[in-house]
Amino acid sequence: MKTITRLYRFRIAGILFASVAVLIALASCGLAGLSRLDAYTDTLYRGNMLPIAQLNELRAASLDARREFWRANQFRDHMRTAASLKVVQADEVRIENAWRAYFPSGVSSPPEALLAGKIANSLPTFRAILRKAVALLERGDYEAAAKWFDGNIEFLNGFDVLIGKCIDTNTLQATELAGKSESIFRAMFWATFACIVICVAGAVSLSIWLMRQRDDALSESRYHLWLANRVFDLTRDGVMITDSHGNIERVNPAFTRVTGYTQQEVLGRNPRLLSSGRQSPEFYRVFWRSLKETGHWHGEVWNRKKSGDIYLEALSIAGVQERDGGYTHYVAILSDITQRHQHEQRLRNLATHDALTGLPNRVLLDERLKHAISRAKRHGMHIAVMFIDLDGFKQVNDTRGHAVGDDVLKAVAERLVHSVRESDTVARLGGDEFVVILEDVGSMRQIEPVARAVLNAVGRPIALPGDAVSVTPSVGISLYPDDAANAEQLLLRADRAMYVAKNMGKNNLCFFSTLEAASHPQPAMTATA
């Protein structure tokens, strides 16, 4: 064996040298192919995929602005129009940001440059159309706004088509680059296969396997990195990544849209720069304790934007753990839910308050009366319920119009609120009927001055543009627990006493207890005028 080895040692050395040379050549070709493939991938991302995302954002923002304009013009409600105009203005900022991000750095070919130039020339006109439409909506001229938008619909559609063509151009370029990358990868594969045939089966097979493993790992790693970056950049919610001490390391574009801060402005800084001051120190202590112990936190926080505006933020935070269980980073996902919160508040308010006067309606009145009865029962106190109906209101409504009638109702509501304590409740049941709940009262002697103050306040002439209107109240009063033990009976008996006061000449007040006294053979029924 030694002899054969010595005899062929130079040939073996030559074969080994050739094998090493082939392996070196293979590695060189592979690295060259990888380098070119990497260059194509980089071009594919920076020259095509990123511009496609930016153009899609530009297109989405322009369509959102148009859609919000039509929504505001359709509903024609002042509050809804104001909210829609804010959304249109935000979409206009999105259009500006998307265009600055794309042009001119995202243009990568002459056909794309031609389309981008047309978009650049059309963008000022698009802004002018949108701003004039917004100005007409702000003045409340809905018909002129709709006519203006209809007159420019052909241009707006053409602008959207231009953006679509530019996106298609980038998509075609991306397809061509992907085809070239595939060709390079195929050529590398066949070159590797040819080397396998030439080289020693075992060594070459092992080398090729290792190389393919490396290629696959690099390709998969690059793909996942690209995919993660795309998801990070394109997500509609703001994303913020901090180190274990809470210092910001990275944010996405949606974070900038929500807070107004760019990545350069927040890098290395603590998220406390967003603090609005509405949360107490105890809130943050509980927040950090939960984050350190469980690794996650979810809730709502009042924060401050760069502009100084306070907004409600839905915030979800999760920790990134090491193998030893410690947290190296924290990932926060946030979104501005101020409009949703305000909308929910408006809905809750509409469900429990009168739309005209802003007073509690029948639903909230029933809830407060039941609560007052429960409290009075627990503490041994009394409650008075005053049922108020306006004398002469129907004549005012019929002769002067519903607008004047609404003004009268609002003035009466304001006078009633100022005639009682802040702890008392003034509600409107509908029409010209109001109810007042007086808590912590004793006898009729304590209630009558308040009732007379209501008579005097409501009975004064109401000054309106061009004239004055006079209405008078008829007031019926029931007491808890003397007259009734539940909310429904208290209201019914106060209503009955009110009708007695009205029948006795109006502008009167009557206690239900006097009706009870009148039903017995002793004193006759009386009402206080």
At 447-465, the pLDDT tens digits run 888 989 999 999 899 888 7
pTM above 0.75, yes or no: no
Fold of the domain built from segment(s) 353-518: Alpha-Beta Plaits (3.30.70)
Instruction: Identify the DSSP state of 524.
Output: P
In the chain, residues under CATH classification 3.30.450.20 are 236-337
β-strands 472-480, 467-469 pairing: unpaired
Is the pLDDT score of 4 beyond 60? no
| Confidence at residue 525, expressed as pLDDT on a 0 to 100 scale | 35
SS3 content of the chain, % helix, strand, coil (to 5): 65, 15, 20
Q: Where in the chain is the domain with CATH 1.20.120.1730?
A: 11-232
How far apart, in whole angstroms, are the C-alpha atoms of residue 94 and residue 56? 11
Number of helical (H) and strand (E) elements in the chain, helices listed first = 18, 12
Say whether pLDDT at 242 is over 50: yes
Asked if the model's pLDDT at residue 57 lies above 60, the reply is yes
* Strand ranges inside 431-519, DSSP E: 433-441, 462-464, 467-469, 472-480, 509-511
Residue 528 has pLDDT above 70, yes or no: no
CA-CA-CA-CA torsion sign (279, 283, 285, 289): negative
Task: Please determine, for residue 327, whether its predicted confidence score (pLDDT) is greater than 50.
Answer: yes
Comparing 521 with 182, the larger pLDDT belongs to: 182
May I ask the CATH architecture of the domain 11-232?
Answer: Up-down Bundle (1.20)
Is residue 241 over pLDDT 60? yes
Q: Given this model, what pLDDT does residue 44 score? A: 65
Query: Of how many residues is the chain composed?
Result: 529
- C-alpha–C-alpha distance, residues 234 and 337, integer Å: 19
Mean pLDDT across the stretch 490-519?
85
Check whether 1 has a pLDDT greater than 60: no
CA nearest neighbour of 193 among 412, 201, 438, 160? 201
- With bands split at pLDDT 50, 70 and 90, how would you rate the model's confidence at 205? low
Partners of residue 330 on adjacent β-strands: 242, 319
The pLDDT of residue 524 is: 33
Amino acid at position 18, single letter? A
Q: Give the pLDDT mean for 188-212.
A: 69
**pLDDT level of residue 147 (50, 70, 90 thresholds):** confident
CATH 3.30.450.20 assigned to domain 236-337? The reply is yes
Q: Which of 40-49, 457-466, 485-494 is predicted least confidently?
A: 40-49
Separation between Cα atoms, residue 126 and residue 163, nearest integer Å: 13
CA dihedral 217, 221, 227, 228 (to 10 degrees): 150
Is the bond preceding 124 in cis, omega lying within 30 degrees of 0? no
Choose among 178, 153, 189: nearest CA to 48. 178
Helix or strand holding residue 240 (H, E): strand 238-243
* Closest to 178 (Cα-Cα) out of 42, 36, 29, 41: 41
Percent of the chain having pLDDT more than 70?
85
pLDDT at 493: 93
Q: pLDDT band at 434, cuts 50/70/90? A: very high
Q: Which two tokens stand for residue 478?
A: 């029931």
Mean pLDDT of 223-235: 81
Give the lowest-confidence range in 172-176, 248-252, 435-439.
Answer: 172-176
pLDDT digits (tens, 9 = 90+) for 88-143: 888 888 888 888 888 888 787 888 888 888 888 888 888 888 888 788 878 878 88
Write the DSSP symbol of residue 454.
H
